[in-house]
Amino acid sequence: MKIAIIIRYLTRTGGAAREAMELCRELEKRGENGTVYTFAYDRENCFPGEFGDIKIVTFHWEYPKFATLYGRAHRAIARFFWIPLVGTTIDRFVQNQKAKRLAFLISKDTDVLNPHDQISVHTAKYFKKYIRKIPSVWMMNDLDIKRWSIFDHPLLHTPRRPLIKRIIDWMRDTYENKIFFSSQDKIGVIVARMGRLAKKYLGRSDAVVVRSGVDVGQFVYKERKGIQGKKIKLYCQGIFYVYRRFEDGIRAVKILHDWGYDPHLTITGDYGHKDTARAYHQTLVALCEELEVRDRVTFTGVISEKDLMRYYQESDIFIFASIQTWGIAIFEAMATGLPVILSKDAGAGEVLKDRKTMLLTRTGDPKDIAHKVKELIDNPMLYQKLAREGNTFVRNSLSWSKYTDNMLRLFEEALKETKKI
């Protein structure tokens, strides 16, 4: 079977990028023919040296002159409320043109298309329209539409959109669904929550849950006995987005310090890839200074895979305060035996059990995080249980091999159904 795995960007280390690349590698191991197609691939920043054995196809792109001119104008007159709408429209146009161009790079004898994000769905649609009508299986890790966004969570304090904007958003989503989303023959979702969103906003009740994997051979398990004394090494990891809720971990550090503990929090992840990430990082630094814990919080920026392993091994507790849909980092941490404190709104909670494989905490509640940290310090038996049971769960339940098994099943079903038509 020849499969085109499509993802918009491979420019930095992240869960979606790893998912697409690991799938390609697993397919090749089984004798299938997989190729990753992307707008851009940065070998230095996207898992450097790790995926040299897979086929990746990309292209060079230059922005149209009008888009460049708009960018200059936007900086000059951004105070006018209508500019963001214009900017979004131009960006969507550019992304759509990229999607169409990428479609013509996909091998014509491909059997199945496998987009991994919304813009990649555009590429799949254009291939089916202009090249060959073949089945397409969308791995819907997230839903990027106007009427719903992870950024609409109450904790993120996103302003309510005016009525006219909501009407425009509805029109855009209706168009997107009719032209692009409806062209997908099968949909895989990483958590059941995304399946419910697909049903509500896309009218698709056929979404199948396909859990992402972990390369358990890469993450060495460390036997842990508990935290000795008052010193605590806390760890958070992820590309900087406001939904990560790193501030909850920082505030928990302040609370623990006030209680007489000696905590230190390390936060690793890229905060230089876009303006919003840089602004979020600056906000977090300011918060550290305000709380007088700047010397207790370290921001490393991008780190190597070797350093990632080291932080998992050397830390005492992994804090995942995020509200995102999944979070591969959670399971990587558990594979090393690092106990996890997990936000109630994190999608990974669908497969994990409170007080067996992790400790559940109220979303957006730093004091509850601090209490959970204290409980793990005071209760070494619970600490050891989470380390042991978490590791066992990951190694028995999540792997890229199992993920590929499930994706191949969807590919084969889509092929069979297409042949019947």
C-alpha 282/C-alpha 118 separation (Å) is 29
Residue 75, pLDDT > 70, answer no
Mean pLDDT of 150-169: 85
Q: What is the pLDDT of residue 316?
A: 98
Residue 112, pLDDT > 60, answer yes
More confident call, 95 vs 158 = 95
CA 345-267-211 angle, 5° bins: 40
Q: Mean pLDDT lowest for which of 52-56, 161-165, 350-354?
A: 161-165
Residue 104, pLDDT > 70, answer yes
C-alpha 54/C-alpha 111 separation (Å) is 18
Q: What Rg, from alpha-carbon coordinates, does the chain have?
A: 22
Q: What is the pLDDT of residue 407?
A: 97
Q: What is the pLDDT of residue 79?
A: 44
C-alpha 216/C-alpha 408 separation (Å) is 21
Domain range list for the chain = 2-213+400-420, 231-397
Q: pLDDT tens digit string along 162-199?
A: 888 889 889 989 999 999 999 999 999 999 999 999 99
Contact, 217 vs 409, CB < 8 A?
no
**Which pair of tokens denotes residue 169?**
């958003």
Q: What is the pLDDT of residue 85?
A: 55
Residue 70, pLDDT > 70, answer no
Per the prediction, the chain carries an average pLDDT of: 91
Q: pLDDT tens digit string along 241-268?
A: 999 999 999 999 999 999 999 999 999 9
Q: pLDDT tens digit string along 328-347?
A: 999 999 999 999 999 999 99
C-alpha 234/C-alpha 320 separation (Å) is 11
Q: What is the pLDDT of residue 88?
A: 66
Q: pLDDT tens digit string along 223-241?
A: 999 999 999 999 999 999 9
Instruction: Indicate the CATH number for domain 2-213+400-420.
Output: 3.40.50.2000
Quickly tell me which residue has 């995942």 as its tokens: 320
* Confidence class for position 87, pLDDT limits 50, 70, 90: low
Quickly tell me which residue has 């409170």 as its tokens: 354
* Confidence class for position 82, pLDDT limits 50, 70, 90: very low
Domains 2-213+400-420 and 231-397 share a fold: yes
Class of domain 231-397: alpha beta
Mean pLDDT of 146-156: 84
- For helices 328-335 and 380-397, angle between their N-to-C axes, nearest 10 degrees: 110
